[in-house]
Amino acid sequence: MSATSLRRDLISKPIFRWAQQVLPTLSDTEREAIEAGDVWWDADLFSGNPDWAKLLAVPPATLSPEEQAFLDGPVDELCRMLDEWRISWELRDLPPEVWDFLKRNKFFAMIIPKTYGGLGFSAYAHSEVIRKLSTRSLTAAVTAMVPNSLGPGELLLHFGTKAQQDYWLPRLAEGKEIPCFGLTSPEAGSDAASMTDSGVVCRGIWQGREVLGIRLNWHKRYITLCPIATVIGLAFKLYDPDHLLGERNEIGITLALVPTSLPGVDVGRRHLPALMVFQNGPTTGRDVFIPLDHVIGGVAQVGKGWKMLMSALAAGRGISLPSLSAAGTAFAAHTTGAYARIREQFHVPIGRFEAIQERLGRMAATAYLLDAARRLTCAGIDHGHKPAVVTAIMKEQATERLRMVANDAMDVHAGKAVQEGPLNYLGGFYRSVPIGITVEGANIVTRSLIQFGQGAIRSHPYLLKEMTALEDPDRARGLAEFDRAFWGHLGHSFANAFRAWWRAWTGGVFAPAPATGRTRGFYKQLGRYAAAFALAVDMALLTLGGALKRQEMLSGRFGDILSELYLLSAVLKRWDEEGRQRADLPLVAWCMEDGFATIEARFDAIFANFPSRPVAWFLRWLVLPFGLRRRGPSDRLTRACAEILLTPSARRDRLTVDIFHGIGDEGLARLERAFELTVAAQPLRDRLHEGHARDVEKARQEGLINDAEAQQLRAAAAAVAAAVAVDDFAPEAIAPRQAAAEPVAAVKWNLFKRNARPAASIAGRR
Ligand SMILES: Cc1cc2nc3c(=O)[nH]c(=O)nc-3n(C[C@H](O)[C@H](O)[C@H](O)COP(=O)(O)OP(=O)(O)OC[C@H]3O[C@@H](n4cnc5c(N)ncnc54)[C@H](O)[C@@H]3O)c2cc1C
């Protein structure tokens, strides 16, 4: 008997039996979610010893000349056509010419290949389009985003039959069809697989002939673009009581294309998500008959809907919402820095107050970090990955960080951003934050269950292999596989325990790091935390087994650590890619210090709450031997980051690159003009200050400044007054509905009437 078989029979076998009881078992939907997509940089982080050369070798995300031309051409032109105030409060929809422009220029077909008449854009180009549009109009951005993310287009591309692709993709590309995707129903939100929407296989009449098909009944809600959609990508549970397709009674979740013109389909009513007016609404279907060839992928794909969905989400989740969030963060940093520079209180620009700088510093660094992570994620997707864990991290972290930055921006602008009206350039972002938090997997569940719960299984080098082996119906084969994976796992755990201990006790100075100059030390620290993370994960799995799934507070903290490791990797990569800009080092250092403090705080909380106390003590001794050493960015560093937003410079432009700037006399344009004039007039103001003169006229008379300089100061003051102005309205414009005199106000208040049918002007089909 060989040593391997002795080991397998004497040691692995009892462990195999024990593990079958303690390791988490997977439901079918969990397994399908875990099998969707692939692993990428997350697997390196889980290994405890990330290969930095691999990260630095990922080619940067770039645009082709054609993609760049689209951004400079149609995207710019579209931005100029958009007036978010008019869209939101007067029209309650995009104007017809904008709908037409979107369709004509194929904004709904960015992911559809050119062979089908689409634009065939890369993930990065798609992200850049959404990013720029988001800084102009969230209504337009969400409208363009939806047909390019999870929905009929994406599903047809990956799973459609040739005939379906040939018919539907050109129509979608030309804008002849407006798609939506219906998954969520009143009873099934986060637990979407529990839907009661049903399809029954039966015979029915289709275009005058009797065919095999499906009779559908559904009630979906919250569906974006549904009120104006011509085709719904519908998720439902398929049943075959008469066994027309085979032996199975319950076939499972299935996806089909349902034209909204069919008898029994009800669309048109609208929700008002956070008072935003992108098209969103419920739909019901009563005994709607479709032929079987409307199932996406045909009969071969019946019952495989969940897997298809998870696979489409694996990449898509990393593009749309992270792009919108990165845009919102850059926009908030840009405007808030400018506002803090022009707005004075107590005769000082508010940006000079430390408490304001605390917020500005955080905003600047967050803008740097989110865009770094967006670019890295797009680069990964463009190189063929579908990194489900990374994209879940991006979705959750980007939207959460946008929430923090939106709060900061509102607090710094104070009344200026609270008062709604055409001059308010921040209100829409602030109101929209909970939408991003909620959709594509609400953040609480994403943080605890997807990032870490599924992440631990799929990104871990051995766990999925072990779990698969444990569930193998062929016991002998299962045991052999388990034996291999288990001993590999054991070696991995010991190596990580040693690594984590050595790196923690030596402050990470001996951890491997690439020669990247000033950021080298940060790589070492990240390597130290990655080893600690991998070890703590193994200990949690060993001591908690399947119970870890229910310990959502613990897994949420593990999710936070993994997220920080990913985001900080992206920051280091961005710094390197952008030519190691010395001027950006404060931003890099701020992100690192903040992230390290979060990582240590989460380890601390994990150890404090770890059910097995001896293991917790051991881990603490190993990983945090000197307690919490990282306290976050210093005040000096925060001040340096804040300064970046307060003064025009190339590094400020790098942070806010490609946002759409204000035009005409709108609020954003007023702010940008005031910022420019205020900065230009600063030397004159300094001269006045040194001469103890507060009044421009007096200073001119005393010869401190000449006529032209006085004029420059007056122009700057006028620009500031215009920028800090807010809107007010005639009382009748916001009067109660009964007293409303103006048609605009009538439309506005009509919407609040319970069960009001939408007026044609706010829900017209196109
Ligand atoms: C504006 C908007 C647009 C949308 N567009 C679409 C669309 O086009 N198509 C579509 O199909 N759907 C769409 N949705 C639906 C969206 O995907 C759901 O809202 C989302 O899945 C959450 O469902 P829910 O709102 O019912 O929340 P619930 O599922 O009721 O969740 C409530 C809270 O409980 C938490 N939670 C749930 N389960 C757990 C758990 N196991 N552990 C910890 N926490 C948990 C959630 O994180 C959340 O915080 C849209 C929603 C909105 C608001």
Question: What DSSP string runs through 230-294?
Answer: SEEEEEEEEE-TT-SSSS-SEEEEEEEEEETTSTTEE------GGG--S-EEEEEEEEEEEEGGG
Q: How far is residue 430's CA from residue 140's CA, in Å, rounded to a whole number?
A: 16
Give distance in angstroms: CA of 194 to centre of ligand 1: 13
Q: Which of 220, 222, 223, 320 to mutate to test the pocket of ligand 1 (most atoms within 8 A of CB)?
A: 222
Q: Which atom of ligand 1 is nearest to the CA of 220?
A: 11
Nearest alpha carbon, ligand 1 atom 2: 222
Nearest alpha carbon, ligand 1 atom 41: 445
In the chain, which stretches have pLDDT less than 50? 740-766
DSSP class of residue 579 equals: T
Nearest alpha carbon, ligand 1 atom 49: 444
Note whether 285 and 265 are within 8 A (CB): yes
Nearest alpha carbon, ligand 1 atom 30: 189
Q: Over 124-145, what HEC string results?
A: HHHHHHHHHHHCCCHHHHHHHH
Give distance in angstroms: CA of 391 to centre of ligand 1: 17
- The amino acid occupying position 322 is P
Note whether 436 and 363 are within 8 A (CB): no
* Cβ count within 10 A of residue 355: 9
Nearest alpha carbon, ligand 1 atom 44: 445
Catalytic residue among 128, 154, 440, 709: 440
Q: Which of 435, 445, 447, 553 to mutate to test the pocket of ligand 1 (most atoms within 8 A of CB)?
A: 445
Q: Is 440 annotated as catalytic?
A: yes
Q: Which residues line ligand 1 (CB under 6 A)?
A: 180-184, 189-190, 222-224, 273, 280, 435, 438-439, 442, 444-445, 448-449, 552
Q: Which atom of ligand 1 is nearest to the CA of 188?
A: 26
Nearest alpha carbon, ligand 1 atom 50: 222
Nearest alpha carbon, ligand 1 atom 7: 223
Q: How far is residue 536's CA from residue 540's CA, in Å, rounded to a whole number?
A: 6
Q: Which atom of ligand 1 is nearest to the CA of 190?
A: 29
Give distance in angstroms: CA of 439 to centre of ligand 1: 6
297-300 own/partner pairs: CB under 8 Å, 24+ apart: 297/159, 297/160, 297/161, 297/164, 297/255, 298/161, 298/164, 299/245
pLDDT of residue 592: 98
Q: Which atom of ligand 1 is nearest to the CA of 182?
A: 11
Give distance in angstroms: CA of 437 to centre of ligand 1: 9
Q: Which atom of ligand 1 is nearest to the CA of 226?
A: 8
27 alpha-carbon distance from chain centroid: 27
Tokens standing for residue 121: 């854009």
Note whether 218 and 297 are within 8 A (CB): no
63 alpha-carbon distance from chain centroid: 21
Q: How far is residue 213's CA from residue 208's CA, in Å, rounded to a whole number?
A: 14
Q: How far is residue 145's CA from residue 139's CA, in Å, rounded to a whole number?
A: 10
Q: Which atom of ligand 1 is nearest to the CA of 273?
A: 1
DSSP class of residue 419 equals: S
Q: Which of 184, 228, 313, 395 to mutate to test the pocket of ligand 1 (most atoms within 8 A of CB)?
A: 184
Q: Which atom of ligand 1 is nearest to the CA of 434?
A: 53
- Give the SS3 label for residue 466: helix
pLDDT of residue 436: 96
Q: How far is residue 716's CA from residue 381's CA, in Å, rounded to a whole number?
A: 46
Q: What pTM was computed for the model?
A: 0.93
Q: Which of 155, 438, 449, 452 to mutate to test the pocket of ligand 1 (most atoms within 8 A of CB)?
A: 438
Tokens standing for residue 570: 């992206």
Residue with tokens 């800009």: 581
DSSP alpha helices (H): ranges in 39-161? 41-47, 52-57, 65-70, 76-81, 84-85, 96-104, 123-134, 138-148, 152-159
Note whether 145 and 75 are within 8 A (CB): no
Q: How far is residue 643's CA from residue 585's CA, in Å, rounded to a whole number?
A: 13
Nearest alpha carbon, ligand 1 atom 23: 189
Note whether 655 and 644 are within 8 A (CB): yes
pLDDT of residue 36: 78
Give distance in angstroms: CA of 23 to centre of ligand 1: 28
> Nearest-CA neighbor of 293 among 198, 156, 150, 163?
163
Q: How far is residue 362's CA from residue 593's CA, in Å, rounded to a whole number?
A: 12
Q: How far is residue 416's CA from residue 411's CA, in Å, rounded to a whole number?
A: 10
Nearest alpha carbon, ligand 1 atom 45: 445
Residue with tokens 């978010």: 84
pLDDT of residue 454: 80
Give distance in angstroms: CA of 642 to centre of ligand 1: 36
Give distance in angstroms: CA of 549 to centre of ligand 1: 20
Give distance in angstroms: CA of 25 to centre of ligand 1: 25
Give distance in angstroms: CA of 131 to centre of ligand 1: 24
Tokens standing for residue 460: 């871990």
Residue with tokens 């909970």: 434
First to last CA, the chain: 76
- Interacting residues of 54 by C-beta distance below 8 A, sequence separation 6+: 41, 44
The pair phi, psi for residue 453, each rounded to 5°, is -50, -60
Nearest alpha carbon, ligand 1 atom 27: 189
Cβ burial 272-306 (10 Å sphere, 16+ → b, else e): ebeebbbbbbbbbbeebbbbbbbbbbbeebbbbbb
Q: Is 725 exposed, middle or buried (0-12, 13-18, 19+ CB in 10 A)?
A: middle
| Torsion angle of the four alpha carbons 513, 515, 516, 517, in this order, in degrees rounded to the nearest 10 | 110
